[in-house]
A and B are shown apart, each in its own frame.
Chain A
């Protein structure tokens, strides 16, 4: 690098740039937190949904599936599974319930988690709530996720 560009200048760009853009990030974060009540479907965040989210977490569903595109890419996207399954929580519950204990020979299969009926309802309600979040451009592009 040329001598006219000194180490001091480089250091100032680092400190100035880092502080400035960090403050912008905080500012945009405040704005985002204020704006998301319009999109985040919080009106449907019932106790049942919260319990469903907990079950989603403690069974590490994200380790195979994506949810709004984030997670593992081994199994289908579930952010829109409620729509894909014909807007039926029964269909979701039926699928989870019907998984064979020892899998399907040669193929990927979801484990059998032995959920109670109450738990199944909670998970289905959670997935219904996620489907209700308003995403930019209605991502994913189509019902297949």
Chain B
């Protein structure tokens, strides 16, 4: 670690991993509720468990992004963080806001939570992924602004690199588009249209900038490949991400009462959305092949390559699968969507954060890389989580294909609940895969505590 303030990332990463465990515990709960409908009913109904599952994901990814930025920006800018105390303070504010919100979901009925937090003054609750009480949303804005100020001032007063510029662009975009979370018109068509300005322009827009810059940073560090080469790739990847992704928003405007031209715009541009992810795969394998040294942190290299491949599969391939309007006509809002959502979030954003953690955590703990046994366990956890996520996706896809056929495509469409009973086997299999994922995650956590033989630095050409 070159700069002391980089170490602030550690608390962010620990919180991220802790919340990740919570997210997955609720994930397997939801999976069980799919097959045992009365499980935990009425104490924790499905919608509450789902809110906890998705909101924990968002919060821990934000912890991950912030931790990554706090680690990466001082080193790239060649100076200490502008205000380390602010980063520490905001950590506790964000953690408190996150934990209180989750407890609110679990301890009181959602309508009561809305009343307690005076939602009627500025109603923003009750929209998918943006269920947080208005006061929490305001808290998120404050934390993100303080974070952006801190990171921004560090970059402005330090050395500017392409990686930090792309990262801060992505983070500013994240903050700006979140403001649409406060716009909840009575008109449902408008409501849905601008809701996507948060959701789509985050995950299929500015978050891709964050992801690409984090990946580029780790690849520079573990391969020692020339910055010029990596920066060129970075620019072209994010160019394609925005060129395809901005108008790709149109694939959400097929069936919400918006004009027909979105069917063409959305289909064409979202069909291009796999391109940046495919380029990321080429990029990652290319620079690892051209590496100038063998970094002792093999687990981090595995995560970096895995991110590129899984993001392409989850976001690229599974996204394309149902993005063309004539296909989406049948698949919209079925288990196909759930399949895509799971692998895309895991492949792109979960894995890129785990890549950053894998690379930086040993360094923050005073080693170049984790010991051999810890790395082997971490790589086992990589495979357990990644392979079980592939199976979760395949089982949900199987469920989705049958659901589409039975409920939407056949001559005699069946009611929703009848179809759900018929495709139950896939939900059971998904639940088993989910449990394997949980085992992989617990192994991942354990790998941080595993003792073993320290690794030797074999390629000390470049120091991190």
Provide the residues of chain B in CB contact with A24, threshold 8 Å: 246-247
Interface size, chain A (Cβ < 8 Å): 77
Of all A-B residue pairs in the complex, the 4 with the closest CB atoms, nearest first, are A63-B47, A57-B126, A69-B333, A108-B37
A36, A67, A75, A107: the one contacting B258 at CB < 8 Å is A36
- Check A21–B416 contact: CB distance below 8 A: no
- Check B33–A108 contact: CB distance below 8 A: yes
B110, B192, B246, B258: the one contacting A59 at CB < 8 Å is B110
Other than the known A58-B110, A70-B128, A137-B255, what 19 A-B pairs have Cβ atoms closer than 8 Å? A1-B232, A13-B236, A32-B262, A35-B258, A35-B259, A40-B257, A57-B123, A58-B126, A70-B256, A73-B338, A74-B33, A108-B33, A113-B111, A130-B188, A135-B255, A140-B332, A141-B330, A143-B413, A144-B408
Mark each residue of chain A from 120 to 145: 1 if its CB lies under 8 Å from any CB of chain B, else 0.
00000000011001111101111111
Provide the residues of chain A in CB contact with B249, threshold 8 Å: 25
Provide the residues of chain B in CB contact with A1, threshold 8 Å: 229, 232-233, 236
Bound complex: CA A145 to CA B228 (Å)? 52
Residues 70-115 of A at the B interface (beta carbon under 8 Å): 70-77, 101-109, 111-113
Assess whether A116 is interfacial by the CB under 8 Å rule: no
Provide the residues of chain B in CB contact with A42, threshold 8 Å: 187
A-B contact pairs, 22 of them (CB 8 A): A11-B235, A18-B243, A32-B258, A36-B193, A36-B257, A40-B188, A58-B111, A58-B115, A58-B126, A59-B110, A59-B111, A62-B128, A63-B48, A73-B337, A106-B36, A107-B37, A107-B38, A108-B38, A111-B45, A137-B255, A139-B255, A143-B413
Provide the residues of chain B in CB contact with A63, threshold 8 Å: 46-48, 50-51, 110, 128, 131
Residues 64-79 of B at the A interface (beta carbon under 8 Å): none
Question: Could you say which interface size class chain B belongs to?
Answer: 35 or more
- Check A10–B125 contact: CB distance below 8 A: no
Mark each residue of chain B from 379 to 402: 1 if its CB lies under 8 Å from any CB of chain A, else 0.
000000000000000000000000
> How many pairs, one residue from A and one from B, have CB atoms within 8 Å of each other in the complex?
236
Provide the residues of chain A in CB contact with B187, threshold 8 Å: 36, 40, 42, 45
Bound complex: CA A84 to CA B254 (Å)? 22
Known A6-B232, A60-B110, A136-B263; judge A103-B42 contact (CB<8 A): yes
Shortest CB distance A10–B (Å): 4
Assess whether B280 is interfacial by the CB under 8 Å rule: no
- Check B126–A56 contact: CB distance below 8 A: yes
- Check B236–A104 contact: CB distance below 8 A: no
Bound complex: CA A6 to CA B239 (Å)? 14
Assess whether B242 is interfacial by the CB under 8 Å rule: yes
Bound complex: CA A11 to CA B268 (Å)? 24
Assess whether B462 is interfacial by the CB under 8 Å rule: no
- Check A32–B126 contact: CB distance below 8 A: no
